[in-house]
Each structure stands twice: as C-alpha cells, then as structure tokens.
Chains A and B, each alone.
Chain A
Amino acid sequence: GAVVSQHPSWVICKSGTSVKIECRSLDFQATTMFWYRQFPKQSLMLMATSNEGSKATYEQGVEKDKFLINHASLTLSTLTVTSAHPEDSSFYICSARVRGRDYNEQFFGPGTRLTVL
C-alpha cells in the first residue's frame, strides 16, 4: 500500500512553455502533499506544501506565480511550471502524507525529470 505515482516521468520542453506534473496517491487518501525539487548532486529541497481544497504554502524564494499548485482532491495534486526556462530544469518529486498514519510518515513518487531547452 501507500503508492504514489507521478506523470510524466520525464519531459523536455522549449523555453517559455508551461508544463504540468501530476502526483497521485493510488491506494490511499493524502491529507497533505509536498513538492520537492532536486538539482544535480544536491539534496531535495521543499518547494511547497499542498492541502486538499486550500491554497498551497510556498517556501521562501519559490515563486508562487511560476509554480502553480492545485490540490483538487485527496488523491491528486498538480504542479504547473509556467513559462519554463532552462534554470527550471530539475528533478521534481512529490510526497504524500497518509491520512490516519504516522503524521510524519511520507511516501514519495518516482519523480519527474524536467529539461527545458
């Protein structure tokens, strides 16, 4: 149980286009989903926290108008990178907290590799 999927697993786009990444909890309801970003040889850094039915909370330095997060249901959160530029190329990973489980136990998706040309 507690499987998280992400789609797509990789995407290549031209500079200036928008890219949507989906994060789904397949067999559980996720009260909270987190979006992380990982640059090469760096660790995961939190971008934003998303709760179902409310606005996302962004970390300092993360542009909310550039990284749009929608958490429309207890099983789906989406991250849209608007007007992507090469510096947005990174590995984006979501995680989900399971309703009813240990508050601090999170399950991670397989990640999405974004390359902006």
Chain B
Amino acid sequence: DIQMTQSPSSLSASVGDRVTITCRASQSISTHLSWYRQKLGKAPELLIYAASSLQSGVPSRFSGSGSGTDFTLTISCLQPEDFATYYCQQSYSDPTFGPGTKVDIK
C-alpha cells in the first residue's frame, strides 16, 4: 500500500489567513492526488483532483500543486466554513488517505 502523510496534523488560523497543508506519498504517484474537506459531523467533499484541478463548484480560494511525492493544498483566504479537517488521497493504486489536518479557529 502507498502510505500518505500530512503536515501539520493541526493548525490554528483566523478568517482571512492564507493556509497551506502538505501531503507526502511513500512513493511517486505522479499527479494522482485529491484533496477533501470534511466539516464536523458531515461527509467529506471533493475540493481538488489530479493534484491541481479544481472540482466544479469549489471556490477558487482553494488550489493544489505538486507531483511525484510532495503536494500542497492552499486556501488563499480562509472563510468560516473552512474550519474543518482536510484529507489528501492517492489514486495511483488502491486508494489510501492521509491522516488528516484539522484547521481550527485561532
């Protein structure tokens, strides 16, 4: 299995902040990387796929980059609804998720 790691595991931020979350794969996955946001008590929502493609309907403040083993998710201007947990997921082989990054209010 391809192992996914994320950093940081949690962070505190304020509305309007720029936030960056990092995801690393245990082997190269090209750009087969997606990002999800999960609000408390809700199902995850797809934000980014193919490392940098914005899912339809997702605000443009979300962006993704990277290839190979190292990837980033950037939220350019944090909104109240963005306080949530974020997961990366590889789709190069049988899908696996990162452990999550919790973004909470500073």
A is bound by B? no
Residue numbers of B with Cβ under 8 A of A are none
